[in-house]
Structure 1
Amino acid sequence: MKIIYKARESRRNNPLPDGDDDTLELLSNNWNDYGYETTFMTACRIGGERIQLGAIKILFEKPISRRYLKDLLQNGWDGTFPIPNESYISTPGEITFYEQLVGTLSPKDAVKAAKALRDASYLIHVKDDPGAQEMIQGAGFKDSLQRERGAIDAFNNGWKVLDQKSLAARDIDFSFKDILGERSSLKFKFGTAETLLPRDINVLIGANGTGKSQLLHQMVKAWLADPRQVRSGDFSVPPDISRLIVVSYSPFEQFPVDMDDSKLNDKDAYKYFGLRGVSESSSLKRKRVGLSRDIPRQDTVASLISCVLDDQRFRNIQGWGRKIATAERVLRAAIKFDAIVLKLKSNVNLKDLFDDQDELDAAVSVIRQGGKEGSFITISPSNLRHIDAKTLGKYVNPKQGVLFLSDGAIQQLSSGQRLFTYLVVNILGAIKRNTLILIDEPELFLHPSLEIQLVDMLKQILKSFNSRAVLATHSVSTVREIPADCVHVLERTDDALIIKQPPFQTFGGDFQRIASYVFGDRAVSKPFERWIEEQLEGMSAKELIESLGGDVNEELIIQILAMGRDQW
């Protein structure tokens, strides 16, 4: 594959490079990049097909990359990489840059491209190149090439893609101010261990008032801080993740809804899903954060379209976790349906959505909903290659949310099914390689079987995208799906916050044993026990059991007899 630079300006829709050969062309722009002008968008053709690789950053020993490349062209350079007799390094905007080249070309050809572009991750971690080692010590590398989370992840882990190494997750050490105002620390166990049990989910569990949500808030704050600043606490080592997703459908949560107050330049590094959203107030000329049940529905539409776009863009990546197919499979655990559909606005030219009339006829249906007929488009793995996802976003009615078609009618969902849909579709739409997902109280509105389905869904999705999750919960059902060393029990005493792990295996463990350890059930008198005590004041244990007749179970018989002997 040829890699070229001709100083062609980047546009919204860039034509492919001239000719028919496999070519990656770097495109010029006027971005300052904090004085270094290192960012170049790309136009790529492989096998006659457009491949959307995204941006790449190139740093030279000279301070202004774009201007320096222009000078090189004027001084006789033919625009082909590698550039002879020049010192430079590069970093793509995200790790999928080289994953796509590996999938569409080959690992060997992707390495050739990395060498031509002098990829910093490959030169440092694989080749130990002295020139690259010197350049990453400079201010330009830290202030421009490593200013965004995606580029940081590409530098830390891109070499593994090129060198065909496993992208194994690492543990995350976090230091935080606990509920009592003291400094505490916690290690989230995600790394490999001598166990076959799944370790891609960690759980925070404890009684109310132990600071589970507060800990998640501090993780978000630390993530949104400028990664170039040295901090005394928070992440002891920068986590090897590229994006943070926060999900909370509690009406009382206060997570940041956007990145307006963040020091990060990479606005793709954080995504929030919940009941709150931002609206602009024309009278006050400032943004206003409001609470609305419409927000999750609209989010799911945007997220489903993001799934389509990602499946189209990254379909050549080996092992790509197909998002639409995953959504169908996971959602069927909670909802009976024939197809996932979106409602279209009226008076739209449907031919703009598909490049094939037969596909259009098969995907768009007229269905009666609420006494009125409307047009609905099916979103399925079978029509992904033909649908124009960018146009779809303009034609869909977002207020309807993601809908489900069964036997020719739109399904009515329970509140639990609706929340499960929000969780599945929004997480799938936002997740990318090396994502960390924080979910606060996922059990809200979910019955126990859906809680378990949620954990199962997360395990499927996280594995496909080399990602991890932290759940703050009260759900013992959830804990029973997680290995003990990934369960962090928060217990508040008069003097300190204690963070401990169960001394027994919670994965597949006994429900009552987990509940007793986490919440101290044996130390809490339950209403039914007080009722038994009151009855035993006027009769013996044997008389009470006989009087209950068929209304008593074996466990209760054992407890009544023990309480009668003062042995409970």
Structure 2
Amino acid sequence: MKFIKIDSSPSTWQPNTAYLIRDNWNDWFYWQTQFSLVYCENATKVTGIGSVKIGQNRMKPESECINDEEKQTFNKPLINNEFNTLDQEFFSLGQSENYYETLNQLPKAVKREILLGLRDVAYNLRIYEDHKLHPAMTNSVMRDISERHIFDALHKLAKGDISSDKYSFAYMFPYKDHQDKSVILDFSIQPNSVPPSNIHAIIGRNGVGKTTLFAGFIKGVINQDAIPEEFAGWLLVSEDGELFRKPDYFTSLTLLSYSPFDKFGPVGVNKIPTGIKYQYIGLMEKSKEDERLIPKSFDTLHNEFCTSMIQCLVGARKERWKTCLQTLENDPLFKEVEISKLADSNILFYDEKWKNEMHKYLNRFSSGHLVTLISITKLVEVTEDRSLTLIDEPEAHLHPPLISAYIRAVSDLMSDRNGVAIVATHSPVVLQEVRSDCAWILNRTRRYIQANRPQIDTFGENVGTLTGEVFNHEVTNTGFYKMVTDAVEKFDDFDALYNYFEEKLGAEGRALARSLLKIKKNEG
């Protein structure tokens, strides 16, 4: 395989050639190992493979350099502008599962030549063992990837194995139940189950502990110091019947929240442990002046979408993104603009003209539709095998039909990637899209918390029935239930009560009134 190293996209592509295009990204403000890999089969077929990081034995940490000249030399691999195979002192690693999935779409001989030519450590684990302790490997090449992820997922993909494994985990609240016992929520993911078990719901009224649960997962995966352990609970993994902590259990953690009151938000890249990917998808960003959380501008949101869209057009993600957008077309506005056609674009690199056109396109959407499009696009970009996604109250910015389409798109994506999404919600419309053994109903009385599975099958159930199942006491003591109940105290016959409501009482209200009046009559 012929490889060409270049600094930017070429004006013409050579056939049967792999291009390494230098990326200006640096790790820890020092290491420069990242490239974009593009393969040209012929003049009409150019495939973006994705990001790859390449290290070299000669590289050394900044602390070992004696001057700035050495820092500018030893922070990057010295790669020939053209080569067929990297020498034995080099090692490389694709930076996402999508990288290996896209290579699997190439002819087997081409894929093998690329992986061997770049001395890929996921493809050849012996190369990994030889270089796993090198500073360029631990601080840069594997900055966002754990050893477990290489062995459990990337190696399988590099060898062409696309099968998924089942997995499970649990969360223990920092609070007890009324019997002073630990409250533990368990989550199990079975690939290819129907309905899917890759999306779970935590539902209950305000203040029952959904925010605490999210804090516990964030603490458990990225060990965020800002979250005190006694208020966060614990992420647990079961092995041989015992529960224990295992922070590296997930390959990545994504928090999706478009609340202006979000308490977590973005986390500085330098505060995330090596080997863990953390993504925040939401409305807030940190102020450059004082680190306060402030709302993002529309321009910032638009730019985030454009950056993510470029990634979703790379390799295997493209079809996955199109499938999600087609699901969103169950919403009339998305259907009208044929949103799924975005995935037919053939944009390899970001340019200002295209960005400006996309900004105009995005301006036609309401805020709810915009955050839906951005969030599903970002999720397609970052979701991988055994990745954890936390979604906070999606109903806060979506109307019910769009909620259903959105949750279905997320569920299909998680099933396809074998990831897991946990949705904290107040909405029975969300619960309607989740199987009952993947749902938890939380209740809290003072300092005691209670967690139960629904007593009915939730997937595809009537929204009214689900509302009664989850909020039974609250429903019967609020809203029209309360008004009808109070009216029954004043009137003894239905006609008088119906006239009291100026004959504007709906079917459920009329049925409730007749039932309560009958009880009142029987009780004398």
| Structure-2-length-normalised TM-score | 0.72
Q: How does 1:135-174 map to 2 (within 5 A)?
A: 145-149=141-145, 153-168=149-164, 170-171=166-167, 173-174=169-170
Residue identity opposite 1:280 in structure 2: K
Taking the aligned partners of 2:76 and 2:487, their CA distance within structure 1 comes to 89
Taking the aligned partners of 1:547 and 1:40, their CA distance within structure 2 comes to 73
Q: How does 1:442-457 map to 2 (within 5 A)?
A: 442-457=394-409
Provide the residue aligned with 2:188 in structure 1: 189
2:288 paired with 1:280 = yes
- CA change 1:536–1:241 in 2 (3 A) is closer
Q: How does 1:452-491 map to 2 (within 5 A)?
A: 452-463=404-415, 465-491=417-443
Q: How does 1:176-255 map to 2 (within 5 A)?
A: 177-178=173-174, 185-192=184-191, 195-225=193-223, 233-234=234-235, 236-238=245-247, 243-255=252-264
Q: How does 1:376-387 map to 2 (within 5 A)?
A: 380-381=342-343, 384-385=345-346
For 2:201, what is the secondary structure of its paired residue? strand
Aligned length, in residue pairs? 482
2:461 paired with 1:509 = yes
Alpha-carbon offset, residue 311 of structure 1 = 4.6
Alpha-carbon offset, residue 209 of structure 1 = 1.0
> Contact 1:203 / 1:471 at 8 angstroms: preserved in 2?
yes
Taking the aligned partners of 2:94 and 2:300, their CA distance within structure 1 comes to 28
> Contact 1:179 / 1:211 at 8 angstroms: preserved in 2?
no
- CA change 1:394–1:529 in 2 (3 A) is closer
Q: How does 1:47-196 map to 2 (within 5 A)?
A: 47-48=41-42, 49=46, 51-58=48-55, 80-81=84-85, 83=87, 90-103=92-105, 105-115=106-116, 117-124=118-125, 145-149=141-145, 153-168=149-164, 170-171=166-167, 173-175=169-171, 177-178=173-174, 185-192=184-191, 195-196=193-194
Taking the aligned partners of 1:510 and 1:202, their CA distance within structure 2 comes to 18
113-122 or 14-23: which moved more? 14-23
Provide the residue aligned with 1:309 in structure 2: 310
2:268 paired with 1:259 = yes
Provide the residue aligned with 2:33 in structure 1: 39
Alpha-carbon offset, residue 338 of structure 1 = 5.0
Q: Which runs of 5+ in 1 are unaligned?
A: 342-377, 405-412
List per-residue Cα deviations over 1:193-223 (Å, max 9, x = no partner).
8x42122211111121111023223323444
Residue identity opposite 1:272 in structure 2: I
Alpha-carbon offset, residue 501 of structure 1 = 1.6
Taking the aligned partners of 1:179 and 1:247, their CA distance within structure 2 comes to 25
Provide the residue aligned with 1:403 in structure 2: 363
For 1:114, what is the secondary structure of its paired residue? helix
> Contact 1:149 / 1:242 at 8 angstroms: preserved in 2?
yes
> Contact 1:43 / 1:51 at 8 angstroms: preserved in 2?
yes
Provide the residue aligned with 2:67 in structure 1: none
Provide the residue aligned with 1:269 in structure 2: 278
List per-residue Cα deviations over 1:39-87 (Å, max 9, x = no partner).
3535544314364532234476x885997998999xxxx965375xx58
> Contact 2:33 / 2:76 at 8 angstroms: preserved in 1?
no
429-438 or 320-329: which moved more? 320-329
Residue identity opposite 1:273 in structure 2: G
Taking the aligned partners of 1:70 and 1:539, their CA distance within structure 2 comes to 86
486-495 or 323-332: which moved more? 323-332
Taking the aligned partners of 1:506 and 1:237, their CA distance within structure 2 comes to 31
Taking the aligned partners of 1:68 and 1:425, their CA distance within structure 2 comes to 35
Q: Which runs of 5+ in 2 are unaligned?
A: 62-72, 237-244
Taking the aligned partners of 2:165 and 2:370, their CA distance within structure 1 comes to 27
> Contact 1:532 / 1:560 at 8 angstroms: preserved in 2?
no
Alpha-carbon offset, residue 146 of structure 1 = 3.1
| Larger relative helix fraction | 2
62-71 or 242-251: which moved more? 62-71
Taking the aligned partners of 1:204 and 1:393, their CA distance within structure 2 comes to 40
For 1:91, what is the secondary structure of its paired residue? strand
Alpha-carbon offset, residue 482 of structure 1 = 0.4
Taking the aligned partners of 2:270 and 2:86, their CA distance within structure 1 comes to 40
Alpha-carbon offset, residue 484 of structure 1 = 0.8
455-464 or 139-148: which moved more? 139-148
Taking the aligned partners of 2:254 and 2:109, their CA distance within structure 1 comes to 34
RMSD: 4.8
Alpha-carbon offset, residue 24 of structure 1 = 5.7
Residue identity opposite 1:211 in structure 2: G
List per-residue Cα deviations over 1:98-134 (Å, max 9, x = no partner).
222222x22454245435555443445xxxx6x8567
Provide the residue aligned with 1:425 in structure 2: 374
Residue identity opposite 2:209 in structure 1: G
Provide the residue aligned with 2:64 in structure 1: none
Taking the aligned partners of 2:169 and 2:253, their CA distance within structure 1 comes to 16
- CA change 1:140–1:558 in 2 (3 A) is same
